[in-house]
Amino acid sequence: MMTELLKVEGLTASYGSVQVLRDISLELGRSEVLCLLGRNGAGKTTLLKTIMGLVRATSGSVALEGAELTKLPAHEVPRHGVAYVPQGRRLFAELSVAENIEIGLMTRGKGGETRDAVLDLFPVLRERLNQRSGTLSGGEQQMLAMARALAIEPKVLLLDEPTEGLMPSAIARIRETVAAMRERGVSTLLVEQRVDAVLPVADRVAFIENGRSVKTIGVAELREDPAMVRRYVGVG
């Protein structure tokens, strides 16, 4: 029996006159990893940005534990416990590793305990606290982006293509973190292009097409019928 944590219902959003999300609905349960799969331009990134309030919803609702998020100013959304790891990481490149984590901690007023917990997840970062984050390697930057997001002690984690352009070892590290977060009761909404990257971590997969969620299935079901991926995502 699953209780939903985040509920997206009939969400619509557009950039100017271009409608990107058309009446999209999905539910994310507690301690669940839900993966969004879809072609380029299907609206996956826009969905995450709309949940964060960075793109305004034109209609529909996003509810976190029953509290409506679409009416809030963008900076209030993370304070409710939604953490965001944007595509391309978007670190504050001129700031140090420590300062990037500090900004995460400040979001919900977390202190040294959270900082230690986050750094324990990514020990590499502890050695580089004073380094300018723009000079980290790709894998380290992704870990810092995750660390910054986890520093808010989120209930929901939104990850936008976290494994893009990373080496297999770094991909494994990200995957382990997502699994570890699930153990702690954090739910993850994960956007990916490649299905092999999500099968090991996801509980369910939602296919997104033209700004709509066309089908949501369990991972086991997807393993049995891999042809489904080709149908919705193009190349599997």
Partner 1 sequence: MAFGPHLLLAVLEGLVSSAVLALTALGLSLVFGVMRIVNVAHGEFFMLGAVFAWWFSTMVAGDPALGFLLALVLAPLVVGAIALVAERLVLRRLNYDPEATIVATIGMLYIFEQLALMFYGPEARAVPAPFDFRITLPWFGYSAYKLAIIAASILVMLATWFVLTRTRIGLVMRATQYDRETAQAFGIPVDRVYAGVFALGAMLAAIAAVLIVPIQQAHYLMGTDPLLLSFIVVIIGGLGSLRGTVVAAVLIGLSDGIIAVFFSPTLAKMLATLFVALVLVFRPQGLFGTTAR
How many positions of this chain bind partner 1 (CB under 8 A)? Answer: 26
Taking CB under 8 A as the criterion, the residue among 4, 102, 164, 209 binding partner 1 is 102
> What b/e string do you get for 159-175 counting C-beta neighbours within 10 Å, with b at 16 or more?
bbbbbbebeeebbebbb
Q: Pick the closer one to partner 1 by CB: 73 or 168.
A: 73
Distance between CA atoms of residues 162 and 145, nearest Å: 9
Phi, psi of 199 (to 5 degrees): -50, -40
Q: Which candidate, 172, 161, 235, places its Cα nearest to that of 200?
A: 172
Provide the strand spans (E) within the chain: 4-15, 18-29, 33-38, 57-64, 67-68, 82-85, 156-160, 187-192, 204-209, 212-218
Going across the sheet that includes 67-68, the strands are 18-29, 4-15, 57-64, 67-68
| Span interacting with partner 1, options 7-15, 27-35, 79-87, 113-121, rule CB under 8 A | 79-87
If binding is defined by CB under 8 A, does position 188 make contact with partner 1? no
Polymer length in residues for the chain: 236
If binding is defined by CB under 8 A, does position 72 make contact with partner 1? no
Taking CB under 8 A as the criterion, the residue among 7, 22, 30, 108 binding partner 1 is 108
Least distance to partner 1, CB of residue 15, Å: 14
If binding is defined by CB under 8 A, does position 15 make contact with partner 1? no
| Span interacting with partner 1, options 17-25, 78-86, 122-130, 187-195, rule CB under 8 A | 78-86
Q: Pick the closer one to partner 1 by CB: 44 or 204.
A: 44
- Report the SS3 class of residue 86: coil
If binding is defined by CB under 8 A, does position 92 make contact with partner 1? yes
If binding is defined by CB under 8 A, does position 76 make contact with partner 1? yes
If binding is defined by CB under 8 A, does position 231 make contact with partner 1? no
190 within 8 A of 34, measured Cβ to Cβ: yes
Positions that interact with partner 1 (CB under 8 A): 52-54, 73-79, 84, 86, 90, 92-95, 99, 102-104, 106-108, 148, 152
